A = this chain, B = another copy of it.
Amino acid sequence: MSKEITSRQLDYAQWYNDLIIKGGLADYSAVRGCMVIKPYGFTLWENMRDQLDRMFKETGHVNAYFPLFVPKSLFEAEEKNAEGFAKECAIVTHYRLKSDPDNKGKLIVDPEAKLEEELIVRPTSEAIIWNTYKTWIQSYRDLPILINQWANVVRWEMRTRLFLRTAEFLWQEGHTAHSTAEEAVEETVKMLDVYANFVENWMALPVIKGVKTPNERFAGAVDTYCIEALMQDGKALQAGTSHFLGQNFAKAFDVQFLNKENKQEYVWATSWGVSTRLIGALVMAHSDDDGLVLPPKIAPYQVVIIPIHKGEEQKAAITEKVKTILQELKLEGVRVKYDDSDNSRPGWKFAEYEKQGVPVRIAIGARDLENNTVEIARRDTKEKMSVSLDGLSVRIINLLQEIQQAMYDKAKDFREQHITPVDSWDDFVSTLEKKGGFISAHWDGTPETEDKIKELTKATIRCIPLDAAEENGKCILTGKPSNKRVLFAQAY
């Protein structure tokens, strides 16, 4: 029974951890706040990463790699950025260990190997990158620079949660340089669209595109655009951000270019990133009490085939038939696994692959051989059906598409039911308490009101939706005038 997953009803947070650990995505490590991404979880990440990478390249970006360390003097150059990350930095101060004279076989930090200048393990790479761009950019001809980096970053979070908030995480960070503000803003929005496209169409998770309020802005940005998703417990999750950095970093690192009018001008910047946090969103949005439910487009295995047999002879006959199925499916690019191991019974395997969220299970037994059929089970709806072996691969491919769409539709329905327009403080509080989700409400536009609301309810403004309509109203807290609704929610 130790393998069972805690139900959402009983303990939502424990349910989430069980999904990750028992679904084989990740494990705790010996390092505070850091996790081990296990092969199954890493394959999921590879599928996500590879698709995002294709989308970045299709939009004209190239990859590069910048140092892990940021010298303190560079780190502090852009003051707001430094202030935003200073409280959660891993800091390298020494470069050598030596034998402990008092403790044989043990090591101590060699005090003589103290660095002249401390190195910050990058929490984000604007500083080190803009310090480099300075040497690459002289004229408008050197622009734009459209670079992305896949990397690990470290933020010393006090409270960590697998995937959602870990001290070290994997991410990509785009850092682009432009000759005009317009072009940089265009890039910022374009990458937000890429993220939304990816999360909706590959992860089957609907998102709301919006702009952050100054309170929630990236440290050092002029504007932070974001995509916000909704989890099953009614909390929101920021799934990706794209920042218009204005000339802040160019000024901090003195990056100027000669424009077409032959005048020196500061360069315009953007940065944008998504991380392994997306896996947390994926897990929380779709899974159920039996385990993970993964969208076919990014699932490590899309199909698992399990033989049901008595004795070796039956198994051999089934395996012979399965060979053809495997071949056909692989030819169509389907990621399929045949689990004919003898270590465990079919029922155990069924439960195991449910936990792992494999979208389609095919079971094939002796009677199926006689009837030229197999049993197909959908992970998302748990539906089972007996289908003919003829035309199976086409059927499977259609089914995978159907599951992908159904998962998106289900998440979208849930999200739509959980955007509640609210016009009074009492309704705001009770909606948050009883229903959760996004609350669409008027706000007077001040950081003070936002802070006060957060203090009273733990809800923050997730974003000002890009498609928010002009509408006169009154702030739910202060009654002051407002001209559009913003989205509030409690959030991860």
Residues in chain A within 8 A of chain B (CB atoms): 27, 29-31, 34-39, 41-43, 45-46, 62-72, 74-76, 79, 82, 86-99, 105-107, 109, 118-121, 128, 131-132, 135-136, 141, 147, 151-152, 154, 156, 168, 170, 343
Contact = CB atoms under 8 A, between A and B. Distances in A.
Contact of A67 (B29, B63, B92, B136): B29
Given A34-B68, A66-B29, A96 B88 contact: yes
A40 to B, nearest CB: 8
Contacts of A92: 90-93, 121
Q: Which of A36, A67, A71 has the most CB of B within 10 A?
A: A67
Nearest to A89: B97
Given A76-B105, A93-B93, A96-B86, A132 B27 contact: yes
Contact of A96 (B82, B107, B156): B156
A98 B118 CA distance: 13
Contact of A147 (B39, B86, B96): B39
A67 B43 CA distance: 17
A79 B105 contact: yes
Given A91-B92, A121-B121, A30 B65 contact: no
Contacts of A41: 64
A67 B156 contact: no
Nearest to A94: B91
A67 B82 CA distance: 24
A141 B132 CA distance: 50
Given A89-B97, A91-B93, A109-B91, A119 B31 contact: yes
Nearest to A155: B95
Given A75-B97, A82-B97, A91-B92, 20 more contacts: A29-B66, A30-B128, A30-B131, A31-B71, A31-B119, A35-B67, A36-B132, A39-B147, A45-B65, A68-B121, A86-B99, A86-B107, A87-B96, A88-B95, A88-B96, A89-B97, A90-B119, A91-B94, A92-B93, A93-B94
Contacts of A99: 86
A90 B70 CA distance: 13
Contacts of A343: 141
A69 B168 contact: yes
A118 to B, nearest CB: 6
Contacts of A156: 95-96
